[in-house]
Structure 1
Amino acid sequence: MRDHPDAIMLFAAGFGTRMGALTAERPKPMIRVSGRPLIDHALSLVAPMNLARVVANLHYRPEPLIEHLDGRGIAFSHETPDILDTGGGLRHALPLLGSGPVFTMNTDAVWRGPNPLSLLAGAWNPDEMDALLICVPRARAIGHAGEGDFLLDDTGRIARGPGHVYGGVQIIKTDLLHDIPDRVFSLNLLWDRMAGTDRLFGLPYPGKWCDVGHPEGIALAERMLEDSDV
């Protein structure tokens, strides 16, 4: 089994409920920021990694995404009749992703700064880590009103608590997915198990990140992309 990721799962199946009318006729990854769909912002980070497999999961209004991504070498993991959440969705896509650790990426955020996928690849240590998450300092997390998700210690190990915001990008080993009996479940279940064995790590992001999970995030992301002060 390979130790380093050569595949990525793009989470693109969600309902985009917080977007209101903007997702009435299209999936959230097709919402435009600075003239480009969110899915294209994500793929611009994926392309330089030269990964062997790129997979997107689909559920809500998949047709616009299928049409937009046609011919771009992306495999689709269809979740029907029910959406499977992040953990169930990742496990469902494993036949397309292959064995070993994989990248996963949410498609409702925009980045300004170093490629988070490249940063993760450079810091990944499979001997110590079961997952490595990009964690954004709250001051660099644009459009995020919460107190954060994780605390990082001096070794990079993370625990639940206010501090850094999970940026929606990680490297994760997938073997533990098969230990979850539920069909629909969140990756939070795996993270908690990994944290319990001191194998859950975080990597601080040095650039800026904007949550585009709500309508106000579109303008915030566009201003962030125009801002020369990173």
Structure 2
Amino acid sequence: MSDEPVTAVILAAGEGQRLEPLTNRRPKPMVPVANRPLLEHVVEAVAAAGVDRIVLVVGYRQERIRNHFGDGDDWDVTIEYVEQPTQLGTGHAVLQAEPVVDGPFVVLNGDRIVDPAIVSRVRDLARDDESPAMAVTTAEHPREYGVVHLDGDRVTEIEEKPEGTVETNLINAGVYAFSPIVFDAIRETHATGELAITTTLTERATTEGLTAVRYDGRWLDVSNLWDLLTVNAALIGESERTATSDPGVGGSVAV
């Protein structure tokens, strides 16, 4: 396995109109969950996965993010910033990182909380293979997300919020592995309206291959105001379970 450094690009330029009025004066990734900004949970997962260089793609109310995270020293990582002045889609957001990314990298959404384990797995694929990869997980209501169709461990199609009945509960988990060749692929993507990274991936899946990384760990999405209740309950409950775990002494101990 290669030990080439991998950068994490976190998409954090979103305004989050569906979270108004909480986002009237802050970007969506800075909405608090479990007493900390949503984005901080994402940064911590990346740091815990052993990725120590982060590029934050910022835009709306970006000063709130820059002031909170600074250079990343408080999280033992190096944080750099690139700007997406206008929100033109996730593919366009990834393109903004091109000037500062010249090696393998992972991409995460700044509004979805995942475990460090999936970041590590996707990071390893980024190191070892120039072909793109994406994490997939399951959802109770898959039509609310990007539904993923597989053939073995290969992605054949990504349907964004499809209408009607879907035959799978697999969805896009929003963690990707890329090499710099993806930047040209994004520019060559045929898109109408916003340029989504999933459009690029769907176009390339049939010609160059797109590996699916199955994931059944923590996946917390904040898209609507009511999601905050669910995510807060999950994180606070997790914290309470950790805090109330009975301390014990294992094995033979001599005092």
**Aligned positions of 1:104-119 closer than 5 A:** 104-111=107-114, 113=115, 115-119=117-121
Could you say if the C-alpha distance between residues 138 and 122 of structure 1 is closer, same or farther in structure 2, counting changes exceeding 3 Å?
Answer: same
Matches of 1:9 and 1:195, distance apart in 2? 21
Are 1:11 and 1:107, in contact at CA under 8 Å, matched by a contact in 2?
Answer: yes
Letter in 2 for 1:17: Q
Alignment: residue pair count: 220
Matches of 2:3 and 2:103, distance apart in 1? 6
Matches of 2:103 and 2:180, distance apart in 1? 6
Are 1:87 and 1:186, in contact at CA under 8 Å, matched by a contact in 2?
Answer: yes
Task: Using structure 2 for the length normalisation, give the TM-score.
Answer: 0.75
Letter in 2 for 1:215: L
Q: Which moved more, 1:61-70 or 1:192-201?
A: 192-201
Matches of 1:23 and 1:50, distance apart in 2? 31
Give per-residue Cα distances to partners, 1:118-148, cap 9 Å, x unaligned: 1223455855x62111111124x8xx66275
Letter in 1 for 2:82: S
Are 1:134 and 1:204, in contact at CA under 8 Å, matched by a contact in 2?
Answer: yes
Are 1:3 and 1:100, in contact at CA under 8 Å, matched by a contact in 2?
Answer: no
Question: 2:122 is matched with which residue: 120, 123, 127?
Answer: 120
Are 1:5 and 1:171, in contact at CA under 8 Å, matched by a contact in 2?
Answer: no
Could you say if the C-alpha distance between residues 4 and 151 of structure 1 is closer, same or farther in structure 2, counting changes exceeding 3 Å?
Answer: farther
- Tell me which residue corresponds to 1:196: 206
Identical positions, percent: 25
Letter in 1 for 2:120: S
Question: 1:171 is matched with which residue: 171, 177, 199?
Answer: 177
Higher RCO by CA contacts (8 Å cutoff, separation 6 or greater)? 1
Matches of 1:223 and 1:52, distance apart in 2? 29
Are 2:156 and 2:205, in contact at CA under 8 Å, matched by a contact in 1?
Answer: yes
Question: 1:151 is matched with which residue: 144, 149, 152?
Answer: 149
- Tell me which residue corresponds to 2:248: none
Could you say if the C-alpha distance between residues 3 and 199 of structure 1 is closer, same or farther in structure 2, counting changes exceeding 3 Å?
Answer: farther
- Tell me which residue corresponds to 1:79: 84
Give per-residue Cα distances to partners, 1:72-102, cap 9 Å, x unaligned: 131110223x2342222212211222x2331
Are 1:157 and 1:201, in contact at CA under 8 Å, matched by a contact in 2?
Answer: yes
Are 1:3 and 1:126, in contact at CA under 8 Å, matched by a contact in 2?
Answer: no
Q: Tell me by how many angstroms 1:29 deviates.
A: 0.9
**Aligned positions of 1:52-91 closer than 5 A:** 52-72=52-72, 73-80=78-85, 82-91=86-95
- Tell me which residue corresponds to 1:41: 41
Matches of 2:63 and 2:99, distance apart in 1? 22
Gaps of 5+ in 1: none
Are 2:6 and 2:127, in contact at CA under 8 Å, matched by a contact in 1?
Answer: no
Are 2:9 and 2:57, in contact at CA under 8 Å, matched by a contact in 1?
Answer: yes
Matches of 2:227 and 2:153, distance apart in 1? 33
